[in-house]
Amino acid sequence: RKEVEQDPGPFNVPEGATVAFNCTYSNSASQSFFWYRQDCRKEPKLLMSVYSSGNEDGRFTAQLNRASQYISLLIRDSKLSDSATYLCVVIGSGNTGKLIFGQGTTLQVKP
Amino acid sequence: GAGVSQTPSNKVTEKGKYVELRCDPISGHTALYWYRQSLGQGPEFLIYFQGTGAADDSGLPNDRFFAVRPEGSVSTLKIQRTERGDSAVYLCASSLFGGEGSPLHFGNGTRLTVT
């Protein structure tokens, strides 16, 4: 089983739609979680950190459910420019700082 | 300021050859990571440096892969006897301290093709 699992999609949604991605992780000792965004043939970039209390940044909301070991990302009022791959990221055990990436979920927002 | 720089951006080599991939991290960043990414997959961890030392090399797939960071800045990933399965985008990232609270900044990657 992979340490971080995501549904690869693709998710095809119309502009203005609300879309949610989930991600599960296997290591219950994991402490830090992130969502990264990756555009086609570009490098991944940090989108937002995920906190236990949940956090919101504009149209984006990230939540963590430790009991069920899953992380979610909600995008409201989606824009064409939101089209990208969204990578769920967990800091690995052992406090070495290595980030473990999920496979990524591809979002395509259509006019 | 300058971001993470990786060279070359593309490398085509024949099976069995030796290759070196270079990473120039952001100045002052103590942590440096190498990942590789195959099509349709997320980045796969290879090795993490804290300063000059490899703090975690558990992701290196076998002994054909080796990385160094002799002066705590530039790093080189070395692959011996390349195989077609080594074809991927090799991503380097740096962060100020490493660990949580210190986001990674990725370079554009080196696209390696082994023919």
Q: Residue A98: its pLDDT value, please?
A: 82
More confident residue, B101 or B7: B7
Q: Mean pLDDT, to the nearest integer, of A60-84? A: 96
Closest by Cβ to B106, choosing from A43, A91, A102: A43
Range of lowest pLDDT (A48-52, B16-20, B41-45): A48-52
Please give the residue of chain A at the shortest CA–CA distance from B92: A43
- Comparing CB atoms, the residue among A34, A44, A91 nearest residue B106 is A44
Q: Is residue A95 scored above 60 in pLDDT? A: no
Instruction: Please indicate whether, in this complex, the C-beta atoms of A98 and B44 are within 8 angstroms of each other.
Output: no
CA distance A5 to A11: 16
Q: Is the pLDDT of residue B100 over 90?
A: no
What distance in Å separates the CA atoms of residue A26 and residue A66, rounded to the nearest whole number?
Answer: 11
Look at residue B1 and tell me whether its pLDDT is greater than 60. no
Mean pLDDT of A8-23: 96
Q: Count Cβ atoms within 10 A of the Cβ of residue A21 and give its class: 0-12 exposed, 13-18 middle, 19 or more buried.
A: buried
pLDDT-based confidence at A90, cuts 50/70/90?
A: very high
* Mean pLDDT (whole number) for B47-71: 95
Q: Which residues from chain B sit within 8 angstroms of residue A92, using beta carbons?
A: 45
Q: Does B42 touch chain A (CB under 8 A)?
A: yes
